[in-house]
Amino acid sequence: MTPPDTRTQLLDAAEHLFAERGFHGASIRAITDLAGANLAAVGYHFGSKAQLLTAVVLRVVEPINAAQSAGLDKLLARTPDPEVTELVEAFAGPLFDEMATADEGGARKSRLIMRILGDPAEEMREWPGPAEDTVRDRYLAAFAHALPALSANELWFRIRGILAVAAVDRVDVHNGQPPPGRSSAAARRWAITFLTAAMSAPPTGT
């Protein structure tokens, strides 16, 4: 239990405040205060506020990508033709697992992803990206193989639907108390059911 170094405390505080107030709404002063660090710490450890944001996003997204990738590997090692349900679970599951650790940390990460999905040009358009895109492309191919009747465009639309549902899920967990009958495990199951049915829908055409 070594006391957390300033760098990680800055990342924690920034993750919290970026998710809660957005990039522009979270000031460096608020972040360093929450982290118990000096105002200049952000400049020293990350260079700038924008680079702090990309570091935060990277830390959130990376384990999700890794889990998604590993899940697909395991699936494809077993059979070349995974079921839609299995693909949905492997793709959407990590989004819930990684977001469900600490009850509040989960909502935080979710809100952050939500903001990323919604921010067109915000300060992060140049993203590290390679891993992210590779994983997405692999799932695109796997889904295309499992749903051969679907056009590429409609498939892409549906995959983004998965992201949307997963991201929006726990947004209001932390607004007021969580609704009584909800656990994160339940939300995960609901999402898998919901999304598997959605992905398996017959193609619309054009």
Can you give the binding site for its own copies, defined by CB under 8 A? 20-25, 111, 114-115, 117-122, 151-154, 156-158, 160-161, 163-165, 167-169, 171-172, 174-175, 179-182, 186-187, 189-198, 200-206
Burial track 73-101 (b if 16+ CB lie within 10 A, e otherwise):
eebeeeeeebebbbbbbbbbbbbbbbbbe
**What 8-state DSSP symbol labels residue 38?**
-
Minimum distance from residue 188 beta carbon to its own copies (Å): 10
Minimum distance from residue 22 beta carbon to its own copies (Å): 5
Minimum distance from residue 2 beta carbon to its own copies (Å): 32
The binder of DNA chosen from 5, 125, 180, 205 (CB under 7 A): 5
Alpha carbon distance 173, 107 (integer Å):
6
| Sign of the dihedral through C-alpha 112, 117, 122, 124 | positive
Q: Is 6 in the site for DNA (CB under 7 A)?
A: yes
30 binds, among its own copies, DNA, none (CB under 5 to 8 A by kind): DNA
The binder of DNA chosen from 22, 45, 161, 178 (CB under 7 A): 45
The full DSSP string for 87-117 is HHHHHHHHHHHTTSSSHHHHHHHHHHHHHHH
Instruction: Scan residues 156-175 and list those touching DNA (CB under 7 A).
Output: none
Supply φ then ψ for residue 184, to 5 degrees.
-70, -30
50 binds, among DNA, its own copies, none (CB under 5 to 8 A by kind): DNA
Q: What is the dihedral of CA 196, 159, 83, 152, to 10 degrees?
A: 130
181 binds, among its own copies, DNA, none (CB under 5 to 8 A by kind): its own copies
Q: Is 101 in the site for DNA (CB under 7 A)?
A: no
Q: How many residues in the shown chain lie near DNA by CB under 7 A?
A: 21
Minimum distance from residue 159 beta carbon to its own copies (Å): 11
Instruction: Scan residues 48-87 and list those touching DNA (CB under 7 A).
Output: 48-50
Alpha carbon distance 99, 109 (integer Å):
6
Q: Are the C-beta atoms of residues 65 and 133 closer than 8 Å to each other?
A: no
Q: Is 124 in the site for DNA (CB under 7 A)?
A: no
95 binds, among its own copies, DNA, none (CB under 5 to 8 A by kind): none
